[in-house]
Amino acid sequence: MKILMVAGARPNFVKIAALIGEMRKHPEIHPVLVHTGQHCSNEMSGAFFSELDIPCPDYDLGVRPDGVRMQITEIIQGLADVMFRERPDVVLVVGDVNSTLAGALAAKGLGIPVAHVEAGLRSFDRRMPEEINRVITDGVSNMLFASEPSGVENLLREGRPPESIFLVGNVMIDTLKRALKRMRDIPLPTLESLSGPRGLPDRYAVLTLHRQGLVDDRALFGRVWSVLQWVGRKIPIIFPVHPRTQFRLREMGIEQAGGNSCQSATGIHMVPPLGYLEFLSLENRAAFVMTDSGGVQEETTALGVPCLTLRENTERPITVIEGTNTVTGLDPENICREVRRLLSGDTRQARVPSLWDGRAAERIVRVLLGHFEPERQMLSARSDVATTAYKDYAATMKGGWN
């Protein structure tokens, strides 16, 4: 059974690591990994392969950021060529980035079944590019693997067949649990130099910001940054800076000098993007985390670390209902109020969701084997149909993605 997996951004690799690790236990599965190149630097993706024990990709499309529409078009075209060459039984996509959408559309155009891991998550905010990617990907997928009950509810509400939906848990937590075991045995000396020769403070907060809706709005980002400066005077903040955010900070006159920089007047310690194990260790030791990332909301819930989500909504409500997450919105007064609450020691009771047990990838692979193995010979026999579909699709794609 051949499973073609598409990945292109850091969150994808965390999920793919658990899935490919599970597939290695099954000799009847032939995984094919395609890296689209969406995150191409070593800081943003390369280090994840070695840290998470992900094999080198079978294909690297090398597509570089050049506008969302052009990027998606190039990824679809590259993936269509790979899929035609490999003839997979199923294409598996994860998450909600541009590579996820492109992988689903390329497979759909060739008549190849699509499996979406992390299906059904909804922020109900169509201004978010990720929300559009989720909705379209789910709309063309044949198998929908949900990480939490809200995903199942959303998919049923949208009219998806119940037999196509599987509540399997969260593959990110599979990877996290394995990483925690490694962290106990592997020293991470680079953490000790993040904030200068004195090392990490005993008590600190962690910050991540990268969403276009926040960092690309200069007025909004300026207001939030003023709040963060206030927070930094209450507790040191370790801030791994995303490339997009770094560019916006420079526009605002806030430089990240050299590799490491400390905004000493505000207590905000800006550092380059971190590897997975480094960042996980940083999260695990933090007093609390402030973020606009979806994955960080899940990681902090699994770690039991308080999280403040600097957004107006979340597509992961289980992290609020059962976990450690609080959605603050972007109002400065509300952010300050929530920070004061955490600094006073007022933290909410929380628990890890029941299926976030480190076995989500096992459940997904079991479902895939049960679904596709009886059909494998039939699908392979339809190569003439696949050839016709590819030729028609390739001709359409010459005109660009519309």
Catalytic residue list: 210
Helices (H), 216-290: 218-234, 243-251, 276-285
Give the span between the Cα atoms of 113 and 91, in whole angstroms: 6
Radius of gyration of the chain from its Cα atoms, rounded to whole angstroms: 21
Query: Who's near 170: CB < 8 A, 6+ residues apart?
Result: 118, 147, 148, 298, 353, 355, 356, 360
Sheet holding 288-291, edge to edge: 261-263, 268-271, 237-240, 205-208, 288-291, 307-309, 325-327
Give the span between the Cα atoms of 154 and 276, in whole angstroms: 30
Q: Which of 361, 355, 236 is nearest to 288 (CA)?
A: 236
Give the span between the Cα atoms of 399 and 376, in whole angstroms: 33
DSSP for 278-305, written as a single string: HHHHHHHH-SEEEES-HHHHHHHHHHT-
CB 380 within 8 A of CB 87: yes
Query: Who's near 189: CB < 8 A, 6+ residues apart?
Result: none
Tokens of 6: 């598409």
Q: 30-35 and 59-60: which strand pairing?
A: parallel
